[in-house]
Amino acid sequence: MKATSKQIAEMAGVHRSTVDKVLHGREGVSDEVRARVQKIIDELDYQPNPIGKALARQNNPLIIAVLLLDVDAIDEIKSGISDAYEELKNFGLKLEYYVNNLDNRTEQLYSLRLLAKKKLAGLIISPIRDPEIVKAINSIVDAGTPVVTINTDVPDSKRMCFIGQDAFSAGRVAGQLMGEILGNRGKVAIITSSAELLGTLERQQGFEAVISDQFSRIQIVEIIETHEQALPTFQKTLAMLNSRDDIDGIYITCGNVSEVCRAVRLLNKEQAIKIISFDTYPEIVELVKSGIINFTIGQNLHAQGYRSLKVLFDRVFNNKEPDSAFVLTKIDIFLRENISLN
């Protein structure tokens, strides 16, 4: 029922290898024949059989480059990618990992230029948000290599899609959780980073939107910027809690969660103050288990990694694009009772 390249060849009165050339836009076919074959392909909506492709590919695999940033999230993302790879490696697929420093735009640019010279079937990247990076990504896409962004995005580029969390919505979820456990009353402090890269601003804005819309009796009374630095995070939190005795909740959009908690515990306020954070790194898991953190919101990093390779594979092997340019992973809510079941 489903057409094969052989059938297409018969219909067009040419050889299968000619059909193959047309399919892959390779040269060595006259314009006339190419048009004839292409027409039949289109009419039948022919989709090459992936298993057949795979078998022929196995000893000559396609290369997919993975360019990640050296941040806490990297391990879980990698484990997701590697799980997907286990499923797909038999199709004739090879991964090449590259890791760049978060703060070093030049380094990522260098990696991208290196990759541009190679024959890549696809690229998965956590981009630094920067015009030069966008340009470099675009030139890779223009050369015919599909690009998927993961965890961080450059929406103004030609990347095929972004795979990650909607930080604004996640902030909204945090806002509602805070509203519920405070029973719509009390004063809240926000600890945030000010760096845009990790979506902390969106997390803050989503939170603020829900509080102001739906929890009118909760006030956001302090906003502390940490610039992702450990010691200042501790010091500023401590100073804030010392200067006022009326904080009922703390919302942390950024890293150094344990520094915030350290300040809270030093003042013996862990019972009095409700804390909501992001991510599920080991130290955060411990803080949730011990009851210091009430809720933490997960990004489902494993799923981000897993999906990114699956989506890219679908494009490369089956020529299928995702329905949306934004493949959003679930907003997971964790508290003591489910954080270990992860």
Contact 153, 127 (CB under 8 A): yes
**Residue 3 touching its own copies (CB under 8 A):** no
How many CA atoms does the CB half-sphere of 83 hold within 13 Å?
A: 13
Minimum distance from residue 37 beta carbon to DNA (Å): 9
| 138 interface partner picked from DNA, its own copies, none, CB below 5 to 8 A per type | none
* Nearer to DNA among residue 90 and residue 101 (C-beta): 90
User: Tokens for 315?
Assistant: 């494009």
**Residue 48 binds which of its own copies, DNA, none (CB < 5-8 A, kind-dependent):** DNA
Site string for its own copies, 187-216 (x = CB under 8 A): -----------------------x------
Q: Which is nearer to its own copies, 227 or 330 (CB)?
A: 330
* Least distance from its own copies to the Cβ atom of residue 337, Å: 4
**Residue 100 C-beta: closest distance to its own copies, Å:** 30
Task: Pick one of 7, 38, 49, 82: the residue that binds its own copies (CB under 8 A).
Answer: 49
Of the candidate spans 4-12, 189-197, 229-237, 294-302, the one that interacts with DNA by CB under 7 A turns out to be 4-12
Cα dihedral angle (193, 196, 198, 204), rounded to 10 degrees?
A: 60
| DSSP states of 167-227 | HHHHHHHHHHHHHHHTTS-EEEEEEE---TTTTHHHHHHHHHHHHHHH-TTEEEEEEEE-T
Q: Which stretch binds DNA (CB under 7 A): 25-33, 133-141, 234-242, 325-333?
A: 25-33
Nearest Cα neighbor of 96 from 125, 71, 73 is: 125
| Contacts (CB under 8 A) with its own copies, residues 55-114 | 55, 58, 90-91
Using CB under 7 A, which of 18, 233, 304, 329 touches DNA? 18
Q: Compute CA 32 distance to the chain's CA centroid, rounded to the nearest angstrom.
A: 45
Q: Which does 328 bind (CB under 5 to 8 A by kind): DNA, its own copies, none?
A: its own copies
Closest CB 93 distance from its own copies, rounded Å: 11
Contacts of residue 328, Cβ cutoff 8 Å, sequence gap at least 6: 164, 165, 166, 169
Point out which residues pair with 220 in neighbouring strands. 188
Q: Tokens representing 324?
A: 């949306």
Give residue 92's region: left, alpha or beta (phi > 0; psi -120 to 50): left
The residue among 37, 57, 58 whose CA lies nearest residue 46 is: 37
Other beta carbons within 10 angstroms of residue 337's beta carbon come to: 9
Q: Is there binding between residue 66 and DNA (CB under 7 A)? A: no
Minimum distance from CB of 188 to its own copies (Å)? 16
The closest of 151, 162, 141 to 325, measured between CA atoms, is 162
338: contact with its own copies by CB under 8 A:
yes
Q: Which option in DNA, its own copies, none does residue 14 bind, with CB closer than 5 to 8 A by kind?
A: DNA
Q: Binding to its own copies by residue 175, rule CB under 8 A?
A: yes
Name the residue among 236, 246, 336 with its Cα closest to residue 293: 336
Q: Determine, following the binding rule CB under 7 A, whether residue 4 of this chain makes contact with DNA.
A: yes
Measured at the CA of 70, the angle between CA 325 and CA 190, to 5 degrees, comes to 75
Candidates 183, 216, 230, 325: give the one binding its own copies (CB under 8 A).
183
Pick between residue 100 and residue 296 the one whose CB is nearest to its own copies: 296
Which residue in the set 3, 10, 11, 50 belongs to the binding site for its own copies (CB under 8 A)? Answer: 50
Instruction: List CB contacts of 56: < 8 A, sequence separation 6 or more.
Output: 92
Q: Which does 29 bind (CB under 5 to 8 A by kind): its own copies, DNA, none?
A: DNA
Tokens of 82: 């590697």
Residues found near its own copies in the complex (CB under 8 A): 49-52, 54-55, 58, 90-91, 166, 169, 172-173, 175-177, 180-181, 183, 210, 294, 328, 330-333, 335-338, 341-342
